[in-house]
């Protein structure tokens, strides 16, 4: 099958869109996988994407299986926060996370390679406040 697609440099987007300003963003989990770090530690990688036209991505790593118990404790706390934000009580497979929406607090992490976003908090998406309900007519309260 022939593609016949012209490559025009004007259509290329920049390699990096840069870090988003610090703040809370509605995001969706677009990928999640059980991986092994360069140092040989098993971890869960979650890819979050902003819920807007720019669709910027942020990678977060949960070191749930790290040899250091303090690292495990922090990772479990973060993963629990993620689970509560997306409304799950148990995760058996990373695929269960994909497509879930949540609010993510991002902070800027600066390094020699430039600025990048780091997820520092996971929360459920805010829903609009429900309409105020009328109090029930109670027989002992006279009108």
pLDDT one-digit tens code per residue, 48-82:
999 888 889 999 999 999 999 999 999 999 999 99
Q: What percent of the chain has pLDDT over 70?
A: 80
Between 114 and 138, residue with greater pLDDT: 114
Between 12 and 42, residue with greater pLDDT: 42
Q: Which of 25-39, 78-92, 119-133 has the lowest mean pLDDT?
A: 119-133
Q: pLDDT at residue 136 above 80?
A: no
pLDDT value of residue 52: 84
pLDDT value of residue 7: 75
Residues pairing with 50 in the sheet: 27
Q: Which residues contact 125 (CB under 8 A, 6 or more apart)?
A: 26, 101, 102, 103
Q: Which residues contact 54 (CB under 8 A, 6 or more apart)?
A: 17
Cβ burial, residue 48 (10 Å; 0-12/13-18/19+): buried
pLDDT value of residue 138: 53
């Amino acid at each position: 099958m022939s593609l016949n697609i012209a490559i025009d440099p004007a259509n290329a987007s920049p390699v990096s869109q840069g870090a988003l300003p610090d703040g809370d963003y509605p995001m969706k989990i677009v990928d999640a996988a059980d991986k092994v770090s360069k140092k040989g530690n098993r971890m869960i990688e979650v890819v979050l994407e902003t819920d807007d036209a720019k669709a910027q991505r942020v990678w977060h790593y949960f070191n749930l299986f790290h040899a250091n118990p303090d690292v495990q404790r922090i990772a479990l706390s973060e993963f629990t926060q993620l689970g509560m934000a997306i409304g799950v009580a148990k995760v058996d497979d990373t695929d269960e996370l994909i497509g879930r929406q949540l609010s993510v607090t991002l902070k800027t992490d600066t390094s020699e390679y430039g600025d990048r976003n780091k997820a520092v908090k996971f929360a459920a998406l805010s829903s609009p406040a429900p309409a105020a309900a009328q109090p029930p007519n109670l027989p002992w309260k006279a009108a």
